[in-house]
Structure 1
Amino acid sequence: MAQDYISYIRSKVGHDKILLNFAGGILADADGNILLQRRSDKGSWAIPGGAMELGESSIEAAVREFAEETGIKVSPKRLLNVYTKFDECYPNGDEVQTIVFLYEFIATDPYNIDGFHNEETVEVRFFSQDEISHLERISDKHRLMLDEYFADSFAMGR
């Protein structure tokens, strides 16, 4: 397929609400701080990840998207949870119910995030649990995922 899956589906349904599969992950540094990206589309802080493409597994999508959005090569350590009950509306009017596969990652290569940015990412930065609790520009979905990660307790059916 020449175009990405979301563009293809949107060419058929416009901005109507659809189910979309996403995958992403949490990477902690040696001090337990969590890497977040500030997204260029919404300006909010988020767990790095993105949409699955046709033919990809959730792990393949999570690893690919994490590298695209942070510049860091990772591998999955464990599946943390699957989130299926969150609605989202994007700045362009696209509506979705998201299905998110969330992994815990380890970095496979040394990395340097200083000054990293691209079309999707304004910046990336590590945050402590306390700093995350005070972030104002983070979605309820990502805040829940991070709260569950820090508690090491993941509720099913979310």
Structure 2
Amino acid sequence: MATPDFIRELRASVGHQLLWLPGITAVVFDDEGRVLLNRRSDTGRWAVIGGIPEPGEQPAVCAVREVFEETGVRCVAERVVLVQTGDPVRYDNGDVCQYMDTTFRCRAVGGEARVNDDESLEVGWFDVDALPELHEFGLFRIKQAMSDGPAWFGTMT
């Protein structure tokens, strides 16, 4: 994920110390029930779509924006799937962040799935019973997005 300018500015002042940041994840389904994934350029792994809201940006607006920016797909956010805080993450450059992720179930309404920026190597629609290898983070979010249950609140590991 590309580092937003406002975080670069914060890092100039705080160095590598822990930053507490909002994170947004979008689990996008099409009319056939397939889920939209991207293979990330930073890790080479398949993942659900996500990003960081800009200051003042509403979470659902961020989800829709991130999906379009990364995949070319237009979507609408339908509901909150989960809110979860993860463990701190240490990046190769020494930066430390901890994210509070809000995940949205989204519905595709237009566009064509394609690599739309430098954050993705590949983009595609997948049947939920034929997903590529995903980190548990993504699998859990897809499972929660498929359920009719209330939003899930907990911690990531």
TM-score scaled by structure 1?
0.82
Aligned to 2:112: 112
Contact 2:88–2:97 (Cα < 8 Å) also in 1: yes
1:147 has 2:146 as partner: no
Aligned to 2:120: 121
Residue 14 and residue 33 in structure 1: after superposition, are their counterparts in 2 closer, same or farther (change >3 A)?
Answer: same
Matches for 1:1-158 after TM superposition, within 5 Å = 4-109=5-110, 111-114=111-114, 116-132=115-131, 135=133, 138-153=134-149, 154-158=151-155
Shift of 1:151: 4.3
Contact 2:30–2:107 (Cα < 8 Å) also in 1: no
Secondary structure, in 3 states, of the residue corresponding to 1:130? coil
Which AA in structure 1 matches 2:140?
A: L
Which AA in structure 1 matches 2:130?
A: E
- The size of the alignment, in residue pairs, is 151
Name whichever of 84-93 and 6-15 sits farther off: 84-93
- Consecutive unaligned residues in structure 2, runs of 5 or more: none
Residue 143 and residue 10 in structure 1: after superposition, are their counterparts in 2 closer, same or farther (change >3 A)?
Answer: farther
Shift of 1:125: 1.0
Shift of 1:117: 4.3
Contact 1:75–1:107 (Cα < 8 Å) also in 2: yes
- 1:44-99 Cα deviation digits (max 9, x unpaired): 11111201111111112111111111111221111111111343333433322111
Contact 1:22–1:51 (Cα < 8 Å) also in 2: yes
- Give me the whole-angstrom Cα distance separating, in 1, the residues matched to 2:90 and 2:128: 27
- Give me the whole-angstrom Cα distance separating, in 2, the residues matched to 1:108 and 1:128: 18
- Consecutive unaligned residues in structure 1, runs of 5 or more: none
TM-score scaled by structure 2?
0.82
Contact 1:24–1:102 (Cα < 8 Å) also in 2: yes
- Give me the whole-angstrom Cα distance separating, in 1, the residues matched to 2:51 and 2:12: 19
Over the residues paired in the alignment, what is the CA RMSD in angstroms?
Answer: 2.1
Residue 34 and residue 139 in structure 1: after superposition, are their counterparts in 2 closer, same or farther (change >3 A)?
Answer: same
- Give me the whole-angstrom Cα distance separating, in 1, the residues matched to 2:75 and 2:60: 10
